[in-house]
Amino acid sequence: MPAFVARLFFAAGTLAWATAQSAPEYTADGQLKLPSDYREWVFLSSGLGMTYQQGMERSPSFTNVFVNPAAHRSFVSNGKWPDKTMLVLEVRASSSKGSINKGGSYQSGVVAIEGEVKDSSKFPGSGWAFFGFGQSTTGKMFPRSEDCYACHAEHGAVDNTFVQFYPTLRHIAETKGTFKNGR
């Protein structure tokens, strides 16, 4: 193949890749940048008022979870998360009885955003780290002493992630044999 054809093909391939691929990026002081297009990533699931403590939340929020498309494709293939996986947890307020709605709950404004990334060269050990964005576009890493680390390590059905609550991925992990029973 002439070199310029290969170059052209590579350029087109890079373009397609750029729209579907993303890796975690950090500020100079180690904060995780919130990807501007995370709402176009693959949606995993949404919960309402989910809690790990007894008792229902008084003002329950929706929790939408998105994953970067490249990591999702990898998971669909083998039931595992590749390095550079990013999950975004978007917490939204719940509303009711607006417009023609008479009951139940729908989503309104963003309350907070959190992120979980697998970046082995940056986070030795499990490779995973958690970040809190609040309503900012950069997120500070939660200290290793926070409960989220131990809880995800112990109870995550697949590699520090709560696949037991993501119905499409749960099925894939069970089929691929990577699902451990979420305790």
- Which stretches of the chain bind a copy of itself, using CB under 8 A? 4-5, 8-9, 12-13, 15-16, 19-20, 39-40, 42-43, 45-57, 60, 62, 64, 66, 69, 72, 92, 94, 98-109, 151, 155, 157, 162, 164-165, 167-168, 182-183
CB closer to a copy of itself out of 28 and 56: 56
Q: Is the Cβ–Cβ distance between 149 and 131 less than 8 Å? A: no
Residue 12 or 25: the one with the smaller Cβ distance to a copy of itself is 12
| DSSP calls for 58-97 | SS-EEEEEEE-HHHHHHHHHHSSPPTT-EEEEEEEEEE-S
Shortest separation between residue 84's beta carbon and a copy of itself, angstroms: 18
Three-state secondary-structure class, residue 148: helix
- Least separation in angstroms between residue 26's CB and a copy of itself is 25
Backbone angles phi, psi at 166, to 5 degrees: -115, 95
